[in-house]
A and B are shown apart, each in its own frame.
Chain A
């Protein structure tokens, strides 16, 4: 008989009282025969360990007052910023909109432009300097006049101008020096005054050559005082040329550099012949 067939029906009649008492006594025997086992030693420990709650925000919140205070401060500070911003907006609404416009800049002081008027200031030499070296004083005066003349030269011929067609042929011969001055002014000829001064033999230089040397020095802005041999040649030719001689025109510039206001015709520097 299978166990399912052994199951009693719902309306199974109760046994008689005698058998009931016997069965109840047998039940006591069954209980004695099948006692409950003892709990192992580790049972309670394992249960306590399993009961330990895992960390959670809720348990930490309930147990830790520091966490509650920190959370309250965080919420307070987080909420304070937008609340204060709204209060600030509401409080400033009565003040109206700020004016929008432009402010004129403060008055700008005029820029002082340093302009050179082409007038060299003669050095004022103290008396003791004159006592010490009159030759030095004269050299400085000549250098100053050369500087002034170079500035005037460049102001007068600022832009390069090419030589007109046929001009080169017309300026050959005795006009070669004039052609050199023209080419210096127009930039067609490079000024090499220092090299020319070093290589020159002043004792045989002609008036046009000296004029060309002066033009080169002015174009090169070389204001070194002329060497004594150059000065001597200029004065020698000037003395031989005579008062109205054609050659004096080539030398008038050098005489203005050398003697200044004391030169024949004054300090005016003839630029173009």
Chain B
């Protein structure tokens, strides 16, 4: 799950033309997907993604080329998301899940019209936040286990075992959705 992305931040720091646009094109969709899958509304996700870039450029001098840019950016994104959740809790006094989009009808009722992809998305949304974040970093963002370990503050071996365990859980949920669809009478 290594990224291997070109280091556009270093190129931007050295004044290369178009490096900033390339940096945004490379990391922008990933950041947007990260925040949306964490449960942010589209406008909030865009705003948070822009804040990630601003903070990245503001502290660009701290970044070293030996580091993993993807992990560095996603660490900033995770901190921003946690701060956003904390501010929302203080403002509303409710749980952080309030911003999460309405899941709609339950899996059994909607299973008939779900295809495989929709079943995966629905199953992922029903996982707890910690598991969802683990899969986001290790699976969807393709960060190495070492980087995920550093971000989440857990041992590498634990990361690896949790990733497989979470994938297994997710696959079972997807199978549940598909089983419910196939057993429901037409």
B residues with a Cβ closer than 8 A to A are 21, 24-25, 28-30, 32-33, 36-37, 46, 49-50, 53-54, 57, 116-117, 120-121, 124, 127-131, 135, 139-140, 142, 154-155, 158, 160-162, 164-171
> Is A26 at the interface (CB under 8 A from chain B)?
yes
CB nearest neighbor in A for B32: A37
List CB contacts (< 8 Å) of A1-59 with chain B.
3-4, 6-8, 10-15, 19-20, 23, 26-27, 29-40, 43-44, 46-47, 50-51
User: Pick the contact of B166 from A8, A19, A35, A44 — CB < 8 Å?
Assistant: A8
A residues with a Cβ closer than 8 A to B are 3-4, 6-8, 10-15, 19-20, 23, 26-27, 29-40, 43-44, 46-47, 50-51
Give bound CA distance, A165 to B126, whole Å: 142
On whether the beta carbons of B139 and A27 are closer than 8 Å, the reply is: yes
Which residues of chain A come closer than 8 Å to B165, judged between CB atoms? 8, 12
Which residues of chain A come closer than 8 Å to B24, judged between CB atoms? 39, 43-44, 47
| Least distance between B48 CB and chain A CB atoms (Å) | 12
Which residues of chain A come closer than 8 Å to B161, judged between CB atoms? 8, 10-14
User: Pick the contact of A51 from B21, B57, B130 — CB < 8 Å?
Assistant: B57
User: Pick the contact of A34 from B28, B50, B121, B168 — CB < 8 Å?
Assistant: B121
On whether the beta carbons of B128 and A34 are closer than 8 Å, the reply is: no
Which residues of chain B come closer than 8 Å to A19, judged between CB atoms? 164, 168
Q: A-B pairs with CB below 8 Å: how many?
A: 102
Which residues of chain B come closer than 8 Å to A38, judged between CB atoms? 29
User: Pick the contact of B171 from A12, A14, A26, A40 — CB < 8 Å?
Assistant: A26
On whether the beta carbons of A14 and B160 are closer than 8 Å, the reply is: yes
Give bound CA distance, A37 to B140, whole Å: 13
On whether the beta carbons of B135 and A30 are closer than 8 Å, the reply is: yes
Which residues of chain B come closer than 8 Å to A27, judged between CB atoms? 139, 167
Give bound CA distance, A31 to B170, whole Å: 13
On whether the beta carbons of A33 and B168 are closer than 8 Å, the reply is: no
Give bound CA distance, A203 to B37, whole Å: 146
Q: A33-B116, A34-B121 are in contact. Are A47 and B29 (CB under 8 A)?
A: no
On whether the beta carbons of A14 and B54 are closer than 8 Å, the reply is: no
On whether the beta carbons of B28 and A43 are closer than 8 Å, the reply is: yes
Q: Can you report 10 residue pairs joining A to B where beta carbons are below 8 Å apart?
A: A8-B162, A12-B161, A14-B161, A23-B171, A29-B116, A30-B124, A31-B139, A36-B29, A37-B33, A37-B36
| Least distance between B3 CB and chain A CB atoms (Å) | 13
Q: A3-B128, A12-B162 are in contact. Are A30 and B170 (CB under 8 A)?
A: yes
On whether the beta carbons of A4 and B128 are closer than 8 Å, the reply is: yes
